[in-house]
Amino acid sequence: MADLKEEMKGVKAAVDELILGRLLPASDPVPEVDLLYRMMRDYPSRQAKGMRPFLCVTTCKAVGGSREDALLTAACIELFQHWILIHDDIEDGSELRRGEPALHVKYGVPLALNAGDALHARMWGALSMNGSRLGADRAVRIMQEFSHMVNETTEGQHMELGWIARQRWDLKEPDYFEMCTRKTSWYTVAGPCRLGAIAAGAQEGTLAKLTDFGLKLGVAFQIQDDALNIHGDQKKYGKATCDDILEGKRSLIMLHLMGEAGQGEREKLISIMNKERSAKTPEEVSYVLSLIERHDAVGYARKRAVELMKESLSILGTVQWTGDAEAAALLGQFSRFAVEREW
């Protein structure tokens, strides 16, 4: 049976070769433009798991396509991840990304913002090249799917940023699920799986099931990410631990805690969480962590993640795969990995 991590590594290597070797320009005689190219190649050159390209390629194979049918689209999904992280890091004020300073920390906000736009445009240019292998009609269909995926992501991102800007804490589990489905599930699971399936010419029925599967598993994935942000090993995880507390994120962990905490605790919690990142003291972060511990908020959230993962698995079980059975099995393995991973 294929090994999940080896498979992910293999797809990631192929995608990186495509991105760094063919899709992104390497150098330019004008020194400023050359710097832009180096900035565009910065996040793509850092360590990353490559889950999204893996899901795209593997779903394509499970439906009956080849790895090559999906590879360019998979690379574009990875490019999407790169540019949106550059912009995300600016929006959230994050300082660390994949174990190194965020791009705007290295080069300032104006140049980093523009480099994100430059990567974004390259992504669409690359997608338009799908026509030579898949035909223009399917290439256009993939771009429409891609556009929908990006729309959902920007809407989810806006929901989260809007809650923070408006200091909203009157939020319940369904609000988190709505935000998280848009912000994470589409571009992490549902989009990559659907895109791979479309590259292989899948039927609408299969695509609908992949949506249901992906939206649930995506939320489970995000909950595990939130948990790692609290409890994870920073070295494996690559982002600064407790960043979500500093950034005032409305994670399921925090929303659960708000419901469980006593009135005095909740008031103190809200006043800390509403402060600007730089105004939060280490003592305040410790206080938030102690409340999370006392009310076992991470335990609760992880339980919900496992439930969602199991629901996603049972949906996956109903798909009539028309291609590689081993690839289909890998998707099941990935589901479990999404909520058990430590990185």
Give contact residues for a second copy (rule: CB under 8 A). 28, 30, 32-33, 35-36, 84, 87, 90-92, 107-111, 113-115, 117-118, 120-122, 124-125, 127-129, 131, 135-137, 139-140, 143-144, 146-148, 150-151, 154-155, 157-159, 161-163, 165, 178
Least distance from a second copy to the Cβ atom of residue 178, Å = 7
- Residue 214 or 248: the one with the smaller Cβ distance to a second copy is 248
What is the smallest separation between the CB atom of 8 and a second copy, expressed in angstroms? 27
Q: How far is the CB of 24 from a second copy (least distance, A)?
A: 11
Cβ atoms of residues 200 and 323 within 8 Å: yes
Of residues 117 and 340, the one with the C-beta less far from a second copy: 117
User: Coil, strand or helix: which one is 49?
Assistant: coil
Do the Cβ atoms of 55 and 334 come closer than 8 Å?
yes
- The 3-state DSSP class for residue 97 equals strand
Q: Which amino acid is at 211?
A: T
Q: Please give the Cα distance from 100 to 80 (Å, whole number).
A: 19
Q: What are phi and psi of 152, to 5 degrees?
A: -60, -40
**Rounded (5°) CA angle 107-109-111:** 60
CB 218 within 8 A of CB 188: yes
SS3 96: strand
Under 8 Å CB-to-CB from 294, ≥6 apart: which residues? Answer: none
- Between CA 294 and CA 290 the distance in angstroms is 6
3-state secondary structure of 284: helix
- Helix 252-260 and helix 297-316: axis angle, to 10°? 130
In this structure, what are the phi and psi dihedrals at residue 27, rounded to the nearest 5 degrees?
Answer: -160, 165
Q: Is the Cα dihedral 61, 62, 64, 70 positive or negative?
A: negative
* CB of 215 vs a second copy, minimal distance in Å: 16
Residue 47 backbone dihedrals phi, psi, to 5 degrees: -60, 135
What is the closest distance, in whole angstroms, from the C-beta atom of residue 185 to a second copy in the complex? 15
Beta-bridge partner residues of 100: 97
Q: Could you tell me the smallest distance in angstroms from the CB atom of residue 171 to a second copy?
A: 11
- Range list of H helices, 167-261: 173-180, 191-199, 204-231, 234-237, 243-247, 252-260
Cβ distance to a second copy smaller for residue 120 or 336: 120
